[in-house]
Amino acid sequence: MQIGDKLPEFDLIGFDDQKHSNYEYADKYALAVIFTCNSSAQSKAYSERLVKLFERYEDDNFGIIGINSNDDKQSPEDSLAMMKLAAFHFKLQKLHFMYLKDEDQSVAKRFGATLNPEVFLFNSKRELVYKGAIDDCWENEAMVTNVFLEDAIESALDGVEVDYPEETPVGTPIIWKK
């Protein structure tokens, strides 16, 4: 995906065993779609930070979706059952933070996602305004100096152009089906 592209459609099963589509988020002023998983060290490091980020901006009509596209045959930790455990651990059922399984990997392919985690942020018109990294230090939250995603969210919610629309993501490659 390129900056300015429209949000691709999706209809995926969530940790709550319900189908969820992009249309559920039509009223959000900004929407972050984050390709993530249970098995990547980087994804694990960002899990709690993403929940905090969501809680900080939820009242501003910000939406966030986690999508796990890893092949769970090669990575059992990324099965829907394990996603449910992760969602329970982070109390996602009490938030409006959905964690979805892209079983056939078609959504990751439409987005052009390659890593876990990798962010795609859309504005109120569902145009891609930011893609890439969450921040500049996945290993240690206290060492973060650039909060790329947070800055992009603020710009999107304010209806202004994102200063740095692309930052190279750091993560583990999506485990594609063989």
- Which pLDDT score is estimated for 143? 94
Thinking of the domain 28-173, which architecture would CATH place it in? Answer: 3-Layer(aba) Sandwich (3.40)
- Which pLDDT score is estimated for 3? 97
Sign of CA dihedral 106, 108, 114, 116: negative
Question: pLDDT band for position 88 (50/70/90)?
Answer: confident
139 pLDDT exceeds 80? yes
Strands in 19-21's sheet, in edge-to-edge order, are 19-21, 11-14, 98-101, 62-68, 30-35, 118-122, 128-132, 166-167
User: What are the distances in angstroms from CA 168 to CA 7, 49, 130, 175?
Assistant: 20, 19, 11, 19
- The region of weakest confidence among 31-35, 89-93, 97-101, 114-118 is 89-93
| 33/54 Cα distance (integer angstroms) | 12
- Which pLDDT score is estimated for 77? 94
Q: What is the pTM of this model?
A: 0.93
| 94/114 Cα distance (integer angstroms) | 29
Contact between 163 and 130 under an 8 Å Cβ cutoff? The reply is: no
Q: Mean per-residue pLDDT for 152-170?
A: 95
Closest CA to 11 of 131, 126, 104, 123: 104
Cα dihedral value 135, 136, 138, 142, nearest 10: -90
Question: pLDDT band for position 47 (50/70/90)?
Answer: confident
Question: pLDDT band for position 96 (50/70/90)?
Answer: confident
